[in-house]
Amino acid sequence: MRRIAAIAAAKATAALSQRLRMGGGTALPGLVAERVDPHIVPEMARRLGQGSVIVTGTNGKTTTARLLRGIVRAAGLRPVANRAGSNLMRGIATALAQAAGLDGGFAGAKRRLGLFEVDEATVPEAARALRPRLVLFTNLFRDQLDRYGEVEHVAAVWRDAVRTLGGSATVVLNADDPSVAALAQAATGRVLFYGVEDTSRASEGLEHAADARWCSSCGSELVYSAVFYGHLGHWHCPTHCRVARPSPRVVATRIEMEPEGTSLMITMPGGEVSARLPLTGLYNAYNALAAVAAAVALGIESEAIERGLGSFTAAFGRQERLTVGGRRVQVILAKNPAGLNEVLRTITADGEEKDVALFLNDGIADGRDVSWIWDVDFDLLAGKVRSLTVSGNRAWEMALRLKYAGLDTPSEVEEDTATALRLALRATPEDGNLYVVPTYTAMLQVRELLARWARQPAFWETS
Amino acid sequence: MELKLRLAHLYPKLMNIYGDRGNILCLERRCRERGIGFEVTELGLGEKMKPKEHDLVFIGGAQDREQRRVAEDLVKEKGKALKEAAAKGVVILAVCGGYQLMGRYYRGAEGEELPGVGVFGLRTEHPGPGAKRFIGNVVVEWQGGTLVGFENHGGRTHLDDGVEPLGRVVAGFGNNGDDGGEGAVCGNAYGTYLHGSLLPKNPRFADHLIETALRRRYKDLEMAPLDDRVEEMAHAAAVRLATRRGIISV
C-alpha cells in the first residue's frame, strides 16, 4: 500500500512539476517517493529483470552512461536510466518511479536493466539499495574538495563499497588510473580492466593538475612511461613492491582525433569494435572505452556495441552543439582542473584562433571553492583566441587567473550570464564556432538561454 | 648587486592543495614586473634546507595522507633550519596544512598526534570525525587592509598567549570559529588558513611579503606600484560574495 502511494505521489509530482514548468522534474518526484516509502528504491530495483548497473567516477559519468544506454538498447534491452546529472538517490528513485507501474513492477520486466550514473559520494548508498550486477568506475580526480572532501576520502568510500558488493557483482575499472585500479584489491567478484594502449597522444610528464601519483601499496612516487591526461597513463611503482598498471582486457588500440569527432578502435576478448563519435577530446575516448568495457562485462556482442555507439548524440551540456544566430555554439562542461585542461587542449588542437566564453560560478553544485582554476593550464589558450569572454559570479577571479596565463585582456568580463553570452555571440563571426565552457550551474543557465535563442534566431541581437 | 628573491618551496609535490600554485605564480610575476629576479628551490622529502640561502619560504596545504608523510620529514630534516630562518627574519608563509605543521602539534580526528616544527606558538586539534569542517569564503581584517580567501579545514587552531593572529575574521570561521582570530604572525613568519589562491587577489599582502623578504638584504629597496585593476576587482568581488552572498539556484 505504502509503495503504491509512494509511486503515485512521485508520478503526480513529476506531472505537476512539468505542467508548472519547474524544470524537468528529475529529482523532486524521487524525493517525494522516498519520503512516502524509504524502501522504494530496493523494492523497485529488485523487479528489474536484468538487474542494475552503476556508473561512477569524477569525470565522464553522464556521457559514459549515455553511451552505454545506446549500446544496451542496441542489444535489445530496455534501460531504466536517471537523467543527466540527477545522480543522487532521489534521481534514481525518480527514474524508477516514472518507469514503473503503480504496483512497482515494470512492463516487459525481463528485458529491463537499471542504468544509473551515481555521484561519487552516493555510491555506497546506491549500491546498498540497487544491489547492482555491475559497477563501473571511470576515474578519480581532485574535484570540489569543499563538497566531497579529499580524494583519498572518496577512494576509501569506494573501497568500502566494492568490498560489500558481493561475489556476483562485476567491477569494471580503469587500469590507467592508479587509484581506480587499486579498487580491484577490495573486489570479491569478477574484475574487468580497460585502458588505452595507443600512446601516440601521450605526453611524458604529469601536469600540475595530476593526482594519485603515489603507490597504493608502499607510498612511493609512481613512474609513468606514458601520460594521457591528468594522472591517467601507463604507470608502475619503481620499488620492490612491483605494483603496476594491470594489463587491460578491453583496450583502445587506436584513437584518432578529428575536428568534429573521434575515431576509435577497441579490442576485447574475441572481437573488436570500431566507432566514430561526434565527441572530441581524449577524455571522451575514455568514456567510450569505459562504456564498451561495461557492455563486454554485461555479455553484449561486439556487433550490438558498434551499433549502439553509432546511435550516440551528445548529452545535455556535454559537447552539445546548437546553432544560434548563424553561429555554431558548442557547450562543454568543465568542473575540475584535469577535465578543463583536456577541454582546452581539445579546443586549441587545430591551432586556429577560437572564440571562447568561460563561465565560472561558485554555487554548491559548482564547488564553492574556485581555487581549482589556479591549477588549470590556461596558457594553452595564449595566442589561440580571437575573442575571450569571461563570466559567472566569479568572472573577475577568472580574469585574474587568465592575466597570469598571459591572457591579459579578455574581450569582456561580465558577471551577468545572459549579457556575457550575447557579447560572446556578437564577438563570434557569422558561420563561426563559439566554444562555451561553463561550470555546472552556469551550464544550466547557458543551456536554457541558448535553447531559447536557437528558437528565436534574432533574439540575442536585441538589447 | 642584482636584486633577486630566493624562494624555497617546501614539498611542492605533496603539499599542493587546490590553488597553492597560484601563490608561487603571484610572487614570481610581482617580482619580474619590477625587474626583480626570482629563483625557486623546490625541497621535497629527505632534502635539507639551508636557512641562509632563502629570503622567503612557502609551504602549502595537503590532504591528510600527504600531510602525515610530510610531518615527520618536516620536523626531522627541516625543523632546525626553519627555526633558524625564522629567528633570522626570513619570511615564511604557511598555508592551511603547512600552517598547522608549523605550530607545536596537530592532533587528528582519531586522536593521533603529529609533532610540529614550533615556528608558531600554537596548537591545532581536530574535534573528531563527526565535527563540522570549516568550509567557505573568508574575509579578514589585516593591518594592511582586507584579506580574502577560501578556507577548508577540520582542525581548530588555538594561539598561545602572546601570539598575534594575522587578522580578525569579518566573514568565515578562521582559526577555531570562536575567538575571531585568523592565522598567526610570529616575527616575519605568517600562517593562515586562506587559500583560493591567497596571494593573487591580495596583492598588498603579496607585496608586503616580497618587501619584507628583500629588505633584509637590500636596504634601499623601492617597490614600484603595479597595475592591480583586475586584482582589485577580484578582491572586491570576493569580499562582496563572502559578506552578502547571492543565492544561485540549482
Catalytic one among B96, B153, B186, B208?
B96
Share of chain A above pLDDT 70, in %: 92
HSE of A105 in the Cβ direction (CA atoms, 13 Å)? 5
Q: Is A371 an interface residue toward B (CB < 8 Å)? A: yes
- Radius of gyration for chain A, computed over Cα atoms and rounded to the nearest angstrom: 22
- Does residue A459 surpass a pLDDT of 50? no
Residues of A in contact with B238 (CB under 8 A): 397
- Does residue A372 surpass a pLDDT of 60? yes
Q: Is B29 an interface residue toward A (CB < 8 Å)? A: yes
Alpha-carbon distance values, A144 to A7, A62, A151, A343, A457 (Å): 33, 17, 10, 18, 36
Chain A residue with minimal CA distance to B233?
A: A396
Q: Is A152 an interface residue toward B (CB < 8 Å)? A: yes
**Would B13 be classed as within a structural domain?**
yes
Chain A residue with minimal CA distance to B247?
A: A363
- Does residue B215 surpass a pLDDT of 60? yes
Look at residue B2 in the predicted model and tell me its pLDDT.
83
Supply angle C-alpha B146, B149, B153, rounded to 5.
Answer: 130
User: Which domain, by its residues, includes B108?
Assistant: 4-243
- Does residue A56 surpass a pLDDT of 90? yes
By the 10 Å C-beta count (0-12 exposed, 13-18 middle, 19+ buried), A115 is classed as buried
pLDDT band, very low/low/confident/very high, at B6 (cuts 50, 70, 90)? very high
**Would B172 be classed as within a structural domain?**
yes
Asked whether the bond before B197 is cis by omega within 30 degrees of 0, the reply is yes
Share of chain B above pLDDT 70, in %: 97
Closest-CA distance, A160 to chain B, in angstroms, reads 17
**Would B81 be classed as within a structural domain?**
yes
- Does residue B137 surpass a pLDDT of 90? yes
Whether A374 sits inside 8 A of B200 (CB atoms) is yes
For A101-152, give the DSSP string: -TTS--TTGGGEEEEEE--GGGHHHHHHHH--SEEEE-------HHHH--HH
Count of structural domains, chain B: 1
**Would B214 be classed as within a structural domain?**
yes
Beginning with the edge strand found earlier in the chain, give each strand of the sheet holding B122-125 in spatial order. B113-115, B105-107, B122-125, B156-159
Whether A361 sits inside 8 A of B250 (CB atoms) is no
Q: Which contacts qualify for B234-237: CB closer than 8 Å, 24 or more apart?
A: B234/A396, B234/A397, B234/A399, B234/A400, B234/B200, B234/B201, B235/B146, B235/B148, B235/B201, B235/B202, B235/B203, B236/A396, B237/A393, B237/A394, B237/A395, B237/A396, B237/A397, B237/A415
Whether A374 sits inside 8 A of B238 (CB atoms) is no
The candidate with the shortest Cα–Cα distance to B116, out of B142, B86, B91, is B86
Look at residue B148 in the predicted model and tell me its pLDDT.
97
* Residues A235 and A244 sit within 8 Å (Cβ to Cβ): yes
What confidence tens digit (pLDDT) does each residue in A173-226 have? 999 999 999 999 999 999 999 999 999 888 877 776 666 578 888 888 899 999
Closest-CA distance, B102 to chain A, in angstroms, reads 21
- Does residue A318 surpass a pLDDT of 70? no
Whether A375 sits inside 8 A of B63 (CB atoms) is no
- Give the domain CATH number at B122: 3.40.50.880
Look at residue B162 in the predicted model and tell me its pLDDT.
93
Closest-CA distance, B233 to chain A, in angstroms, reads 6
The verdict on whether B9 is a catalytic residue reads no
HSE of B242 in the Cβ direction (CA atoms, 13 Å)? 26
Residues of A in contact with B243 (CB under 8 A): none
Residue A116 main-chain phi, psi, to 5 deg: -125, 130
pLDDT band, very low/low/confident/very high, at B18 (cuts 50, 70, 90)? confident
| More confident site: A451 or B6 | B6
Chain B residue with minimal CA distance to A362?
A: B248
Residues of A in contact with B233 (CB under 8 A): 396, 399-400, 413
Q: Is A336 an interface residue toward B (CB < 8 Å)? A: no
Look at residue A258 in the predicted model and tell me its pLDDT.
80
**Would B194 be classed as within a structural domain?**
yes
pLDDT band, very low/low/confident/very high, at A17 (cuts 50, 70, 90)? low
Contacts of B16 (CB under 8 A, 6+ apart): B60, B62
Closest-CA distance, A397 to chain B, in angstroms, reads 5
The verdict on whether B26 is a catalytic residue reads no
Residue ranges of B 190-229 with Cβ closer than 8 A to chain A: 195-197, 200-201
Hey, which bits of B37-133 come out as E strands? 37-43, 56-59, 91-95, 105-107, 113-115, 122-125
Closest-CA distance, B87 to chain A, in angstroms, reads 32
By the 10 Å C-beta count (0-12 exposed, 13-18 middle, 19+ buried), A124 is classed as middle
Share the mean pLDDT of chain B.
93
Share of chain B above pLDDT 90, in %: 83
**Would B39 be classed as within a structural domain?**
yes
**Would B107 be classed as within a structural domain?**
yes
Mean pLDDT along residues A59-67: 93
CB-closest option in B63, B241, B250 to A365: B250
CB-closest option in A208, A371, A440 to B195: A371
Closest-CA distance, B84 to chain A, in angstroms, reads 30
**Would B249 be classed as within a structural domain?**
no
Q: Which contacts qualify for B229-234: CB closer than 8 Å, 24 or more apart?
A: B230/A396, B230/A399, B230/A400, B230/A403, B231/A400, B231/B200, B231/B201, B231/B203, B232/B203, B233/A396, B233/A399, B233/A400, B233/A413, B234/A396, B234/A397, B234/A399, B234/A400, B234/B200, B234/B201
Look at residue A342 in the predicted model and tell me its pLDDT.
87
- Does residue B214 surpass a pLDDT of 90? yes
CB-closest option in B69, B135, B234 to A219: B69
Look at residue B178 in the predicted model and tell me its pLDDT.
95
Give the range among A82-86, A251-255, B163-167, B181-185 with minimum mean pLDDT: A82-86
CB-closest option in A146, A370, A394 to B152: A146
Residues of B in contact with A441 (CB under 8 A): 248-250
| More confident site: A36 or A130 | A130
Q: Is B45 an interface residue toward A (CB < 8 Å)? A: no
Closest-CA distance, B83 to chain A, in angstroms, reads 29
Residue ranges of B 9-28 with Cβ closer than 8 A to chain A: 13, 17-22, 25-26
Whether A396 sits inside 8 A of B237 (CB atoms) is yes
pLDDT band, very low/low/confident/very high, at B26 (cuts 50, 70, 90)? very high
Chain B residue with minimal CA distance to A337?
A: B18
Q: Is A376 an interface residue toward B (CB < 8 Å)? A: no
| More confident site: A85 or A439 | A439
Domains and CATH numbers, chain A: 2-310 (3.40.1190.10), 318-461 (3.90.190.20)
Look at residue B248 in the predicted model and tell me its pLDDT.
38
- Does residue B149 surpass a pLDDT of 90? yes
Supply angle C-alpha A32, A18, A314, rounded to 5.
Answer: 100
- Radius of gyration for chain B, computed over Cα atoms and rounded to the nearest angstrom: 17
CA dist A4 and B16 (Å) reads: 52
Residues of B in contact with A375 (CB under 8 A): 18-19, 21
Q: Is A365 an interface residue toward B (CB < 8 Å)? A: yes
Share the mean pLDDT of chain A.
88
Q: Is A441 an interface residue toward B (CB < 8 Å)? A: yes
